[in-house]
Chain A
């Protein structure tokens, strides 16, 4: 394995509680919720009528897209991904060259469901026998690689331009794969991120599974309660997050600002064996994934100071804490600090891993912990493993160096990353 070190030099985000790094940082510090009531969901008789969706003004749109690109444009996931991706590129101080293609830069930008509203619009036309009236852009707005394709053209990327998909692990996995590509010397710079559509046609399936909270329609900001004794299910969200990854050499040559270093990571699957299934994790695999990430980073488990959990506010939060505790061999007051962004944003599905990684990197860079919101009483199952003092309920300044971030997804897939301050 080469000794190439990989660092984060740019961030971009399109989150329910903040669009753009400045607004998002402010939201993190203040514990601001991005969960809102949607009358459309009420009209459609959803049990859960709330969700997290980024608010994007026409001005922001026109900063990132030409009027021609916005003509017949109806793909929220591409909108979020482009806003976050281009922000991360520009935040890294990288130029947009309209003439030449940059063979040293690529992107892995994952998606779950993409262009659902555009698809719906097209399906209506097709069913009416009007296929010829779809226009020229229905393919690019609905293909799984839509975000990476738009970004590739806007930024002139000439290295790998692709999209991964692994349910709620997608974003974390994209970062790991992009990290590995740089580590292997196949690219100097990779834009890593993920994006998810939202709204009724994406969230409906989860509503049907009865795993979303239905009692908070009149108090949306209180609904997402990770780790709480009264957690009532996850609040669906959407958006995008993006991290500009770069070899340390390239970053230093450019004199770029370095937010953090990625030390390593691991991805695996529980094979839907043991207690694992399409929708539930195999705990053996989760623990192994965390252990492998720590060993890949060449650190001791005792070095981890902060965990950014997956912690969706379902009944599985207790099991996740138990898995972290067993994998790291740490419990009680010896357990790292742990927080979950989902209290503020809801569960942004395929975008969750990247948005939460952006939050993690901001915590490392600015040396603080964002608060676990809506957490009055910690779930007793969690307290069987760790001390309540490890779960900050307020924004907490903290000098620390090592953070572990993990995401788990349908299909029994897991991914864990280890970040270090730089």
Chain B
């Protein structure tokens, strides 16, 4: 499953990267804020884009489960499985 999610998630994250961060820098281990330098206020936009792309709802208290790319993939998998 995560094989499909990863490229889609990368595409979602890409527009929020600062101009000096190369999209190739995104890896499963990347921390969105500390590694990729994404402005933390944009995490809410990434959540909305993820919700639209996968047709799931992410609760406010689940935001801390989306700190890294791999944690986000796990959360999305979990949500998809619970649907």
A and B, one complex? yes
A contact set with B: CB distance below 8 Å: 66-68, 71-72, 132-133, 135-137
Inter-chain contact B15/A136, CB cutoff 8 Å: no
CA distance A133 to B50 in the complex (A): 12
List of B residues within 8 angstroms of A71 by Cβ = 15, 45
Contact A135 B44 (CB under 8 A): yes
- Across the two chains, which residue of chain B brings its CB closest to A66? B19
* A66 vs B39: C-alpha distance when bound (angstroms): 14
A136:B44 contact, CB within 8 angstroms? yes
**B57 → A minimal CB distance (Å):** 10
Do the beta carbons of B48 and A68 come within 8 Å of each other? no
Contact check, A136 vs B45: say whether CB atoms are below 8 A apart: yes
| Interchain CA distance A72-B46 in the complex, whole Å | 12
Inter-subunit contact A72/B19 (CB<8 Å): no
Inter-subunit contact B19/A136 (CB<8 Å): no
Instruction: Pick the residue among A66, A67, A135 that contacts B48 (CB under 8 A).
Output: A135
Smallest CB-CB separation from B16: which chain A residue?
A: A68
- Convert B41-62 into 0s and 1s, putting 1 for each residue whose CB lies closer than 8 angstroms to a CB of A: 1111100100000000000100
Contact residues in A for B17 (Cβ distance below 8 Å): 68
Interface residues on B, range: 10 to 19
Which B residues touch A137, using CB under 8 A? 41, 45
Inter-chain contact A68/B44, CB cutoff 8 Å? no
Q: Let me know if B15 and A67 touch, CB within 8 A.
A: yes
- Look across to chain B and name the residue whose beta carbon is closest to the beta carbon of A98: B20
**Among B18, B42, B43, residue most surrounded by chain A Cβ atoms (within 10 Å):** B42
Residues of B within 8 A of A136 (CB): 41-45
Q: Is the CB of B15 within 8 A of A133?
A: no
The minimal Cβ–Cβ distance linking A295 to chain B, given in whole angstroms, is 49
Let me know if B19 and A133 touch, CB within 8 A: no
Question: Assuming A68-B15, A71-B45, A136-B44, what are 5 further A-B pairs, CB within 8 angstroms?
Answer: A67-B15, A132-B60, A135-B48, A136-B41, A136-B42
Q: Which residues of A contact B15 (CB under 8 A)?
A: 67-68, 71
Interface centre among A71, A132, A136 (most CB of B within 10 A): A136
Q: What are 11 sample pairs from A and B whose C-beta atoms fall under 8 A apart? A: A67-B15, A68-B15, A68-B17, A68-B19, A68-B42, A71-B15, A71-B45, A136-B42, A136-B43, A136-B44, A137-B45
| B45 near A133: Cβ-Cβ < 8 Å | no
Q: How far, in Å, is A137 (CB) from chain B's closest CB? A: 8
Contacts of A135 in B (CB 8 A): 44-45, 48
Q: Scan residues 18-52 of chain B and give those whose CB is less than 8 A from a CB of chain A.
A: 18-19, 41-45, 48
Residue of A nearest to B57 (CB): A132
On whether the beta carbons of B48 and A133 are closer than 8 Å, the reply is yes
Closest residue of chain B to A70, judged by CB?
B15
Instruction: Report the minimum CB–CB distance from A223 to chain B (whole Å).
Output: 42
Q: Chain A residues with Cβ under 8 A from B42's Cβ?
A: 68, 136
Find chain A residues with CB under 8 A from B16 CB: 68
Give Cα A133–Cα B57 distance, bound, in whole angstroms: 11
Most-contacted residue by chain A among B15, B43, B60 (CB, 10 A): B15
Q: What residues of A have a CB within 8 angstroms of the CB of B45 in the complex?
A: 71-72, 135-137
Q: A410 CB to closest chain B CB, in angstroms?
A: 35
**A142 CA to B32 CA in the complex, in Å?**
27
Residue ID in chain B nearest A71 by CB atoms: B15
Contacts of A133 in B (CB 8 A): 48
Alpha-carbon distance A72/B17, docked complex (angstroms): 15
Contact partners of B44 in chain A: CB under 8 A: 135-136
**Chain A residues within 8 Å of B19, by CB:** 66, 68
In the complex, what's the smallest C-beta–C-beta distance from A110 to chain B, in angstroms?
Answer: 26
Set of chain B residues within 8 Å of A67, measured between Cβ atoms: 15
**Cα distance A66–B43 in the bound complex, in angstroms:** 18
Q: How far is the CB of A141 from chain B (nearest CB, A)?
A: 13
Find chain B residues with CB under 8 A from A132 CB. Answer: 60
Cα(A136)–Cα(B42), bound, Å? 6
B48 to chain A, nearest CB (A): 6
Query: Which residues from chain B contact A72 at a C-beta distance below 8 Å?
Result: 45
User: How distant is the Cα of A132 from the Cα of B57 in the complex, in angstroms?
Assistant: 11
Tell me how far the C-beta of A376 lies from the nearest C-beta in chain B, rounded to whole angstroms: 53
The 4 closest A-B pairs by CB, nearest first: A136-B41, A136-B44, A136-B45, A135-B45
Interchain CA distance A173-B11 in the complex, whole Å:
46
Q: How far is the CB of A10 from chain B (nearest CB, A)?
A: 25
Question: In the assembled complex, how far is the CB of residue B10 from the closest CB belonging to chain A, in whole angstroms?
Answer: 16
| Interchain CA distance A99-B38 in the complex, whole Å | 17
Residues of A within 8 Å of B43, CB to CB, are 136
